[in-house]
Copies of this chain bind each other. A is one copy, B any other.
């Protein structure tokens, strides 16, 4: 999974550094949330983060996790993606790196719910087009694109 273990170990520390530099408090709850997100390659729903964070800090409360996710989001440490319907999933962002580099676009099948990944670059043409035409700066990874996956297409026609 990881090519340099050191880098892995540093992600959390980087986050903590950034918290301190912004005069934000480093609390067990926030560390738990960051730790949970750091250990997953997946994108987790708020409720999943609640569950996993509880595994680390049993006293951590649902509301606290939501507040932590909001705060960390404002600080740019955590980002979220809107999937179809009302589900939102969260993931860690690496402050140093350009967002586009490690981001991919999410494709969600409206029939089976599966989420596929597509390289971020499939959106670049659209992105510049929208920016030129309407002055709209598209955030490519912020929403999942909806449609039908191959499996469901062949199953249904």
Residues of B within 8 A of A88 (CB): 85-86
Q: Choose one: B118, B125, B137; the contact of A134 (CB below 8 Å).
A: B118
| Nearest chain B CB to A32 CB, angstrom units | 25
Q: Does A29 belong to the interface (CB within 8 Å)?
A: no
- Which single member of B84, B116, B123, B130 contacts A143 (CB below 8 Å)? B84
A36 at interface by CB-CB < 8 Å: no
Q: Taking A82-B84, A84-B82, A143-B84 as contacts, is the C-beta distance between A136 and B148 under 8 angstroms?
A: yes
A69 at the interface (CB under 8 A from B): no
Which residues of B are found within 8 Å of A135, using beta-carbon distances?
Answer: 149-150, 153
> Shortest CB–CB separation between residue A23 and chain B, in angstroms?
22
How many monomers of this chain does the complex have? 2
A97: shortest Cβ distance to chain B, in Å?
20
> With an 8 A cutoff between CB atoms, is A122 at the interface?
yes
Q: At the interface, yes or no: A12 with Cβ under 8 Å from chain B? A: no
- B-side contacts of A109, CB under 8 Å: 136
Binding site for B on A (CB under 8 A): 82, 84-86, 88, 107, 109-110, 116, 118, 122-123, 125-126, 129-130, 133-139, 142-150, 153
17 A-B residue pairings within 8 Å (CB atoms): A82-B85, A85-B86, A107-B134, A107-B136, A116-B134, A118-B134, A118-B136, A122-B126, A125-B126, A130-B145, A134-B149, A135-B153, A136-B149, A136-B150, A137-B147, A138-B147, A143-B143
